Structure 1
Amino acid sequence: MPTSSSRRVERLLKSHPSQDGDGVKIRRIHDFGGGLDPFLMLDELGSDQPDDYIGGFPPHPHRGIQTLTYVIHGGLTHEDHMGHTSTIGAGDAQWMHTGRGIIHSEMPLTDSQGLHAFQLWLNLAAKDKLSPATYRDVRAHEMSTLVAEGARLVALGGDWQLQDGTAISGPLDALAGHGAVAHVTLEERGTLDLVNAAPTLLLYVFAGELTVSDQHIGRGQLAKLSAGDELQLSSAPGAQALILAGTPHQEPIAHYGPFVMNTHAELEQTLAEYRDGTLTG
């Protein structure tokens, strides 16, 4: 039974169809008004039709954010102006700290099921907006796993703990806003009870249906959860979801396309530097 410290659904957002890059069809949830702070946007790429994504994301810039790309099946090849070139496949992730500026491309690869992947945007604190850009791959075998009755949690980053005290940490330990990201799979009638007191806790369901403290979350929905330190998940039909935890920056957000700064003046400066070729320092 839910307790007084159990998380409940405070706000529910539905992903909506969109396009990005070279006509890549995605489902997107975003809030650049600070409602999901420190998170900004979550894109789901999923199709068995190559025309929906084969154009990929040709070279484009970013400043002021981190991106985390996670592949369920298929793959993506990354290249950037710093000389990094790598390919990730099923279960792998790419983390990019854009800082002052980065120019990169992401091109899709397919398997027998096509492509299914996610890209998450995390906002950088003002003090880190102009920090040096960095990049890292994380392979599936590097990620720690928690196993419970009919449930499995794969930690991409941050700290995760079951109510019985079992705890793990994901390999990504520098996510903005003390961020933590995990992939949860619940079997039919599976349950998972976590301890997590992060000020921001989000849950995105991408397969099946989850129940959080007797409240249902369906496929393609993102739930912002109330304050508390216990998260009780269950699923009658089975489900898969991403869990996102973090601490809000509580700073102004100024957003234009691939750039996220704190003021419009900073955005104007960013655009000027992109035009004159000095964005990346």
Structure 2
Amino acid sequence: MTIPAITREVDQLVTSQPSQDGDGVRIQRIHDFGGGLDPFLMLDELGSDRPDDYVGGFPPHPHRGIQTLTYVIHGGLTHEDHLGHSSTIQSGDAQWMHTGRGIIHSEMPLTDHQGLHAFQLWLNLAARDKLSEATYRDVRAAEMPTLGGHDASLVALGGRWENSDGDSVSGPLEALAGRGAVAHARLAAGGELALATKASTLLVYVFTGSLEIAGTPVPQGRLARLGSGERLVLTSHEGAQALLLSGEPHGEPIAHYGPFVMNEHAELEQALRDYRAGTFTD
């Protein structure tokens, strides 16, 4: 006898909050540095057709102890860092940084006729990796495979994704912290996307339209944290777009100060001393 897969239900809905970062860039932010989204820490949505909301961008600043993943819906961002990387990502592209011991970088916005719409995700590094070597990678839209549903599709940025028919794809980013996986789901009106996933952490952030997950409405600007199970079913009456995030918790202490995420407060103090002494990236 085949045992039916348990469909995952919404445990919690979190509303994104208006904030500012960089040189006055207006964003919608969801964060949890208490481990509630482990291995994820923060999700920022940059979306505006008003240049004054984002034109200042993110001038040079440091990071330690995390990975960042930036994904552009439309517009673009130009990245530069102390390692000598310089590149521009545009609609459908992504950039990934493993900050490790330390990286100093900037991200400056570009616009198209719709303005700018992009996301930045922070993933926590395990303690053993927090002082590792910093690395960087661009991923172009053409590198990202697509998985189908019923009037729906999924673009895999990283990790492995499988639908209910047993078809699967793996995104080009294979080294996301906490066995992380990230995807962009699109559903037409009346669409359905059914996925097989046993990941301990599973999150769905709706940024266009609205979804239903096991009977729970998830409107635009909400992050759904899913309970345990083996199957995720997304449906939409009106059509929707969402980011899907899955991973395995580190289960380690989290100490956070600004752009630094370590395990202990003393490590944050050391990061500040290193940055002020000019030895941050040594």
- TM-score normalised by L of structure 1: 0.99
Shift of residue 247, structure 1, vs aligned partner: 0.2
Letter in 2 for 1:155: A
Letter in 2 for 1:199: S
The answer to whether the 8 Å contact 2:65/2:101 transfers is yes
Aligned to 2:230: 229
Query: C-alpha deviations, 1:90-145, integer Å up to 9, x for none?
Result: 00000000000000000000000000000000000000000000000000000000
Aligned to 1:201: 202
Partner Cα distance (2:252, 2:148) in 1 = 37
Query: C-alpha deviations, 1:217-272, integer Å up to 9, x for none?
Result: 00000010001110011000000000000000000000000000000010111110
Q: Report the aligned-residue RMSD.
A: 0.6
Partner Cα distance (1:102, 1:233) in 2 = 37
Partner Cα distance (1:59, 1:280) in 2 = 14
Partner Cα distance (2:280, 2:224) in 1 = 35
Aligned to 1:136: 137
Partner Cα distance (1:237, 1:166) in 2 = 26
Partner Cα distance (2:165, 2:222) in 1 = 29
Letter in 2 for 1:43: D
Partner Cα distance (2:236, 2:23) in 1 = 37
Aligned to 1:238: 239
Aligned to 1:39: 40
Unmatched 5+ stretches in structure 2:
none
Partner Cα distance (1:184, 1:114) in 2 = 21
Q: Which runs of 4+ in 1 moved over 2 A?
A: none
Aligned to 1:94: 95
Shift of residue 280, structure 1, vs aligned partner: 0.5
Correspondence 1:124-273 to 2 at 5 A: 124-273=125-274
Query: C-alpha deviations, 1:170-200, integer Å up to 9, x for none?
Result: 0000000000000000000000110000000
Shift of residue 149, structure 1, vs aligned partner: 1.4
Aligned to 2:27: 26
- TM-score normalised by L of structure 2: 0.98
Aligned length: 279
Unmatched 5+ stretches in structure 1:
none
Say whether residues 1:58 and 2:66 are aligned partners: no
Partner Cα distance (1:194, 1:149) in 2 = 12
SS in 2 for 1:150: strand
Letter in 1 for 2:167: T
Aligned to 2:69: 68
SS in 2 for 1:278: coil
Letter in 1 for 2:136: Y
Partner Cα distance (2:5, 2:17) in 1 = 33
Shift of residue 4, structure 1, vs aligned partner: 6.5
Letter in 2 for 1:215: T
SS in 2 for 1:188: strand
Letter in 2 for 1:41: M
Aligned to 1:276: 277
SS in 1 for 2:100: coil
Partner Cα distance (2:229, 2:150) in 1 = 23
Query: C-alpha deviations, 1:193-218, integer Å up to 9, x for none?
Result: 10000000000000000000111100
